[in-house]
Amino acid sequence: MRQSPVRVRIPAPFSGLVLLLAAACLCALLSPLLSPSPALAQQSASVSGQITLPSGDSVIGAIVELSLNGTTVDTDVTGFDGGYAFSGLKPASGYEIMVTMETHSLRSHVFDLAAGQKLNLDLSF
pLDDT the model gives residue 36: 54
Residues of the chain with pLDDT under 50: 14, 19, 25-26, 40
Which pTM was predicted?
0.66
Alpha-carbon distance of 38 to 35, in angstroms, equals 9
Alpha-carbon distance of 74 to 79, in angstroms, equals 16
* Polymer length of the chain: 125
Hey, which CATH number is domain 39-124, 3.30.70.120, 3.40.50.620, 3.40.30.10, 2.60.40.10?
Answer: 2.60.40.10
Domain residue limits, the chain: 39-124
